[in-house]
Amino acid sequence: MEDKSQELISVSMKIIMSAGNARNYADEAFECAKKAEFTKASKKMELAHKEITEAHNSQTHIIQSEASGVDYKYSPLFAHAQDTLMTISSEINCDEKLIELLKIFLSRKEDSNE
């Protein structure tokens, strides 16, 4: 059981780190978009998606292991990791929508200045 506990700690930290990296990239993307640097913002969002996918895949590994019979003891750290993953996934979705709104807003602003 100790071995499984260590695995859960390791995976939890991987989820938290990857999700945190994803949040940083999404924040950077939004900052780029505010300066109308949409190509750069898009690249940052791609990195955010890569990181959040890594976090999600780590979570999925544990869930699939549990579904196939591996017994994990409840872990507040894993619960925190899952919460972090879902929160940052939502933030990324919101950032994408906000960036699209910025594109529309800035293009209309340019059109009205002509």
Question: Given 49, 56, 61, 80, which residue is catalytic?
Answer: 80
Annotated active-site residue 56? The verdict is no
What's the angle, vertex CA 99, arms to CA 97 and CA 100, rounded to 5? 65
Answer whether 54's CB lies under 8 Å from 18's CB. yes
Answer whether 8's CB lies under 8 Å from 77's CB. yes
The amino acid present at 85, given as its one-letter code, is L
Structure tokens at 16: 């938290």
Annotated active-site positions, please?
80
